[in-house]
Structures are given as C-alpha cells and as structure tokens.
C-alpha cells in the first residue's frame, strides 16, 4: 500500500527466522514477533490491517480515507486488529 500512496519510504527486509524476530530490539517494536511492522516517525504499528488503515487515513491517493479518524496509533489499533484477526475466521 505504501507504493500506492506515492510517498517515499524505506523498505527494510527482515529475516523470518524465529531467532531474528525474537530479538529484544524487534520485540520492542512488534510484541507478536511477526512481519510486518511499520515505523512512521514516532508511530509504530505491527498488524497489517492497522497499518493499511493508518496509511489510508494519513496519505492522499487512490486509497485515501477521508472520513473521521478512527484508527490512530494511540487507540491501540494494532492490538485490536490482531484480536479481530484471531477471533474472526472470515477476516
């Protein structure tokens, strides 16, 4: 989705080996020790649905969401999206 925003970004490729994802540095960013993780200034999101909603609200482009902001990082969006993805098999 970052490509579709047209905004510059830096992709950091991360190994999917458990020992790499379980490092203390990565666990501070993503307590689930999974990929993806988005870092945007002071904002850190670690669930793909939360990341996509955040990008759709923040950046103009074909997928921009101009409605009321509901998915601020401070609202716990990553955790809520993670919970939804685990309890709802249709997600």
- What pLDDT was estimated at residue 78? 58
Using alpha carbons only, what angle is made at residue 70 by residues 80 and 72, rounded to the nearest 5 degrees?
A: 70
Q: Taking a C-beta distance cutoff of 8 angstroms, is the pair 60, 1 a contact?
A: no
Residue 2: which residues within 8 A CB-CB, separation 6 or more? Answer: 9, 55
88 or 58: which leads in pLDDT: 58
Q: Model's pTM, two decimal places?
A: 0.68
Which of the four pLDDT bands, split at 50, 70 and 90, describes residue 83? low
Q: pLDDT, tens digit, for every residue of 30-46?
A: 998 989 999 999 999 98
């Amino acid at each position: 989705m970052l490509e579709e925003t047209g905004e510059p970004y830096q992709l950091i490729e991360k190994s999917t080996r458990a020992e790499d994802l379980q490092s203390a540095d990565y666990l501070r960013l993503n307590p689930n020790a999974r990929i993806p993780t988005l870092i945007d200034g002071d904002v850190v999101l670690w669930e793909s649905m939360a990341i996509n909603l955040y990008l759709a609200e923040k950046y103009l482009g074909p997928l921009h969401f101009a409605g009321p902001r509901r998915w601020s990082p401070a609202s716990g969006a990553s955790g809520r999206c993670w919970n939804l993805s685990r309890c709802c098999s249709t997600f």
